[in-house]
């Protein structure tokens, strides 16, 4: 199942771009017809949604069903079906427009109902009110223990990597509202299993007083029960990423390591609002 998801997400945007190119050719060949209008409505909104997420990386959460995109796709599928059934000429590419509509619609509903859900079992060791288990991570050219975070409140974010647009958007949201928490003595710890050199580049990019750390071979994710085995999208392993990654997780602890808050999202497109957990440690 993970392999299928990896292949699906790796081919999703290229597939949508290819389908859009075929639609453009259809308009050129047939003119502005209902067939191709329907196909465009099933494909282009989804493509724009994905491109916005990947290019701007500023959307830390979405509605699970993406209602605007879904609505346009349903309208497009209806138009495409109507045009195909009522088409009286065989000189155009109406059958291809209908097939493209079917493929684009299938890709969207797989994304919403299947791919976006993480199929994770929530870690029993990360319960509110419990003690944060000790784990190791790589930082400042050495292996460090989470016990060194004791003494101050901490916001610990496990993120999948710079390749995940919703992870980057989540970090951007925290960066935009961290100042008051820093003044209150809160530590911000961002941990990813991605290569250390990429983590360092992210730290330089954001230039904030956070700890950007590396979870070598997912050791911390395994210890905490939040590892996403074989969860890496197709093609990224060739860039040095581990095949397994981490489930997006936010943990907030007090100065004694007691867990005040833990979000173990089940949908990778839905990250918790930073205001929701920062208020737990600001001025406390």
Per the structure block, which two tokens stand in for 275?
């205001």
Q: Which residue has the higher pLDDT, 87 or 125?
A: 125
Cα 51–170–62 angle (5° rounding)? 55
Whose structure tokens read 């389908």? 19
Q: Which residue has the higher pLDDT, 258 or 1?
A: 258
Residue 41 makes CB contacts below 8 A (sequence gap 6+) with 72, 73, 75, 76, 77, 79, 80
Q: Which of 51-65, 138-152, 197-211 has the lowest mean pLDDT?
A: 138-152
Classify the C-alpha dihedral 266-209-59-16 as positive or negative.
negative
Residue 246 makes CB contacts below 8 A (sequence gap 6+) with 158, 159, 160, 191, 192, 193, 215, 218, 221, 226, 227, 228
Q: Which of 25-34, 136-145, 167-176 has the lowest mean pLDDT?
A: 136-145
Average pLDDT over residues 256-284: 92
Q: Set out the domains of the chain in order of their start, with CATH numbers.
A: 2-115 (no CATH), 136-278 (3.40.30.10)
pLDDT in tens, 262-271: 999 999 999 9
Assign 235 to helix, strand or coil.
coil
pLDDT in tens, 74-116: 999 999 999 888 875 555 677 899 999 999 999 999 999 999 9
What is the overall mean pLDDT for the chain?
93
Whole-structure pTM value: 0.93
Give the C-alpha separation, 72 to 14, whole Å: 20
pLDDT-derived band at 139, boundaries 50, 70, 90: confident
pLDDT for residue 57 = 96
Give the C-alpha separation, 250 to 139, whole Å: 19
């Amino acid at each position: 199942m993970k392999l299928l998801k990896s292949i699906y997400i790796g081919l999703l945007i290229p597939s949508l771009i290819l389908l859009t190119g075929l639609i453009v050719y259809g308009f050129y060949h047939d003119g502005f017809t209902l067939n191709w209008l329907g196909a465009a409505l099933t494909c282009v909104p989804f493509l724009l949604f994905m491109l916005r997420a990947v290019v701007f990386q500023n959307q830390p959460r979405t509605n699970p069903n993406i209602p605007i995109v879904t609505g346009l796709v349903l309208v497009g599928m209806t138009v495409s079906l109507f045009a195909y059934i009522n088409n009286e000429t065989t000189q155009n590419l109406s059958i291809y427009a209908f097939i493209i509509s079917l493929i684009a619609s299938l890709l969207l509903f797989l994304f919403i109902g299947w791919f976006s859900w993480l199929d994770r079992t929530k870690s029993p060791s990360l319960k509110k009110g419990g003690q944060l288990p000790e784990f190791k991570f790589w930082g400042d050219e050495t292996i460090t223990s989470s016990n060194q975070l004791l003494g101050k409140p901490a916001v610990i974010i496990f993120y999948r990597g710079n390749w995940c647009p919703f992870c980057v958007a989540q970090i951007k949201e925290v960066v935009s509202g961290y100042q008051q928490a820093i003044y209150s003595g809160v530590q911000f710890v961002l941990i990813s299993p991605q290569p250390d050199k990429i983590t360092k580049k992210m730290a330089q990019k954001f230039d904030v007083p956070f700890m950007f750390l590396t979870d070598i071979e997912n050791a911390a994710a395994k210890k905490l029960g939040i590892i996403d085995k074989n969860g890496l999208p197709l093609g990224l392993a060739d860039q040095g990423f581990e095949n397994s990654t981490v489930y997006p997780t936010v943990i907030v602890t007090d100065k004694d390591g007691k867990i005040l808050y833990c979000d173990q999202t089940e949908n990778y497109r839905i990250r918790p609002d930073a205001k929701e957990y920062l208020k737990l440690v600001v001025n406390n």
